[in-house]
Chain A
Amino acid sequence: MSTTTSHALPSGAQPAPRSSILVATSAVAAAGTMLMFGMLAMWFKFRDASPLRESAGGKMIHDWLPSDIKIPEVITNTMAFTMVIACVMAQWAVYSTRRNDSSHSTLALAITSVIGIAAINAQVAVYLQMNMGLTDGAYQTMFYAVTGTMLALLVTGVVFSIVAMFRAVAGRLGDSSVMSAHALYWYFLTAVFVALWFVVYVQK
């Protein structure tokens, strides 16, 4: 057995770290972007395939959004705005970490987490206000599927923020790439949410 081991190819020297967490987060963000954009593409496909009808304003529109469903625009617009603020907070955490400022890093990450929780809360409020059943029609099923997936991604973002915050509280600020990865993840979340907001809530 020892002979076997001695003949196996030896591992090389450990290379210098090159921001593995940042690169992995980039790959996850790319995958997440493809996930959400793929789902939005499917949404377009179904919307374009729906029959045409005359709107209240006299225009011919696709009969996709059922006429009895009202989208709570104030909440959804606030969500989009809030997500942008989360990015600013996440970037503030990077800025503070690079200056070894633990208290401001912690504060920035705490605010990011709270904003994430607020966004989740807002999404739940959207569901409650729209008050539609998942089985009521194709629109409803797809609406819950696409926004539910976004909600799951938001939950992972909040978990990431909380983990990063505990690192900051513990003073582990030596490796700023974790904070950069965290900020990148929130940029990704915001970008896909804005795309979803425009397609699902604005264009309808």
Chain B
Amino acid sequence: MNTVNSTATAGHASTSSALGTVANWITTTDHKKIGRLFVGASALWMLVIVGVGVALGIERIASDSAIFNLNSVTQLFAMLRTGTTFGVLLPLALGFGIAVVPTQVGSKSLSFARLAMFGFYAWLIASGLVIGSIIANGGPGGGNPQMVDLYLMGVGVGVVGAIAASVSLVTTVLTSRRTGLSLLEIPMFSWSVFVSAISLVLTLPVLLGSLIYVAVDHHYARLAFGGNKGIDMWLGWGFSQPQTFLYVIPAIGLLAELAPIAARIRQPLRGAMLVGVGIVSTAMFGTVTQTSHVFVWSGSLIDKLKSAIPYAWFNLLPILGVVIVILLSLLAIQKGKKRLIAPLVPTFLGVGMILVGMAGNALQMIDSAKLSGSVFEEAAVTYIAYGAMLCAWGAIAYFGPALWGRKIPDISVIGIGALGLFATVLAAFPYYLAKDQVGGEVSDFDYSGPQAVFNTAVSLGHALMLFCLLSAIAISIKSLSSGETVSATVWSDQ
């Protein structure tokens, strides 16, 4: 009897302990937990978009290889586009920022931690609404008006959540730094999160404003904004370049932080590094104009300048910022002790991929290149998204010891980083070559030539990325529970 009772008591204790843990996580105001919730939930979105990438690639291999109903293809592209930015890049930037920035600036907690938690829940609920509505024939170009309304509401709620989390981050950096730590002395990663969060606070409300117009018009009248077909036209800028540049600024800041730590020196020309990260945010001015700035070399000199200046400002200046960061990182490595720390590998490769994506976007915006509307744009987005995912892997490896006191094995970090690079190139580069293939379509293009080879390579690339992603998730979970216990300062101690 005693045994039975004690077993029952132990079972009850275990259940209440599990419930307590769950309750603790869902009501937490601990910035490390909120950040990890953001990153963990975004991993689910990653699986969705990589899976959709594989499916679309297979669908495109041959004109008769139809897996999905043709009407579903619009939804798949909507899922890919929304998921890449709204489901992956945005929460990754916010999640790592929330988890790490308070610790880096010497604060015990996040300013307005409940606001950040509200941001997470808003984004999470919005994710459910967006996925559900797209599956039920909603989303841009969707055929079910109620589901299109639900999609618009979902994106709106998510944007409000992202603004809330960004406000919390900006306030933390501005008001909760430890005494004596000036804004320009904060670690490079925190600086990049700060720049990114300010950019989001200033650009996402513009997206929200457009969204309110489009949602009201779609629900009631469908007179001014083109109904379901107009969603991409009026809101598309929020899910494409240069807006995506703002989401990947923390990835660039991570490289800026890691390079001098690997080289064991103080960053040479640190001021220039701060400026380099800041320059990437010039993309913000392009996004608030709510339009693409295409470079057209025709007409009078004034016409050419009118086209060239915004093009260079919004598409080339952010590239200059990334180039400055990469060059200064290489300078630090060259000047300091040449040694390799594992998180630097995926981060460096990831930033390289982001740079290739940004360069592709700049090329696509040149009118005479005639790349607009082709799969070239998809390739640029893939480079940026997968590059950011590689950087996220570097961030998990780098910040793991500080966040949960355990380390991911170096071989896994470097291995998945290298394989991820290969997957990214395979998933994106063929579409840089296949400029004759129409974007956003799976069958209405010319199959003569190497299109089948390109589409097969892209499918393999996405499939390989899916493998990398699953491996990274499994290794991260293992590290959380049974990884090597290390000091929080393991990287600078090495």
Contacts and interface: CB of A to CB of B under 8 A. Distances in A.
A31 B178 contact: no
Contacts of A149: 209, 212
A144 interface: yes
Interface stretch (A18-26, A51-59, A160-168): A18-26
A11 interface: yes
Interface of B: 102-103, 106-109, 111-112, 115, 163, 166-168, 170-171, 174-179, 201-210, 212-213, 216-217, 220-221, 223-224, 288, 290, 401-406, 485-489
Contact of B205 (A6, A7, A35): A35
A184 to B, nearest CB: 14
A7 B212 contact: no
A39 B203 CA distance: 12
A38 B206 contact: yes
B157 to A, nearest CB: 14
Interface string A73-87: 000000000000000
A137 to B, nearest CB: 6
A36 interface: yes
Interface string A1-17: 00111111111111111
A134 B222 CA distance: 11
B107 A14 contact: yes
B171 A27 contact: yes
Contacts of B111: 20, 23-24
A4 B406 CA distance: 7
A7 B213 contact: no
Interface in A31-84: 31-32, 34-36, 38-39, 41-42, 46
Given A138-B224, A141-B213, A142-B224, 10 more contacts: A5-B405, A9-B402, A12-B107, A31-B204, A34-B205, A38-B206, A38-B208, A38-B288, A138-B223, A142-B217
Sorted nearest first, the 9 A-B pairs with minimum C-beta distance are A12-B106, A9-B488, A38-B206, A138-B224, A35-B205, A7-B405, A38-B209, A39-B209, A18-B175
A6 B405 CA distance: 8
A131 interface: no
B227 to A, nearest CB: 12
B171 A36 contact: no
A31 B163 contact: yes
Contact of A141 (B102, B177, B217): B217
20 contacts: A7-B401, A7-B487, A8-B403, A11-B108, A12-B106, A15-B107, A23-B170, A24-B167, A27-B171, A27-B201, A31-B201, A31-B204, A38-B288, A39-B210, A134-B216, A138-B217, A141-B213, A141-B217, A142-B213, A144-B216
A30 B203 CA distance: 10
Contacts of A14: 107-108
A30 B102 CA distance: 23
A163 to B, nearest CB: 15
B212 A141 contact: no
Contacts of A7: 401, 405-406, 485-488
Given A42-B210, A46-B224, A141-B220, A15 B179 contact: yes
B213 to A, nearest CB: 5
A39 B202 contact: no
Contacts of B290: 38, 41-42
B175 to A, nearest CB: 4
Nearest to A135: B221
A168 B489 CA distance: 46
A15 B102 CA distance: 11
A31 B205 contact: yes
Contacts of B402: 8-9
Nearest to A134: B220
A28 interface: yes
Given A11-B107, A15-B106, A149-B209, A30 B202 contact: yes
Contacts of B224: 46, 138, 141-142
B112 A24 contact: yes
A137 B223 contact: yes
B265 to A, nearest CB: 22
Contacts of A18: 174-176
Nearest to A152: B212
A156 B469 CA distance: 42
Given A14-B107, A20-B176, A145 B403 contact: no
Contacts of A141: 213, 216-217, 220-221, 223-224
Contacts of B403: 8-9
B455 to A, nearest CB: 38
B39 to A, nearest CB: 17
Which of B112, B202, B405, B487: most chain A CB closer than 10 A? Answer: B405
Nearest to B102: A11
A184 B208 CA distance: 22
B212 A39 contact: yes
Interface in A66-112: none
A36 B33 CA distance: 34
Nearest to B174: A23
Contacts of B401: 7-9
A17 B109 CA distance: 12
A23 B209 contact: no
A19 B176 CA distance: 10
A7 B488 CA distance: 6
B240 to A, nearest CB: 17
Given A20-B175, A24-B111, A137-B223, A36 B488 contact: no
A8 B488 contact: yes
Contacts of B168: 24
Contacts of B166: 27
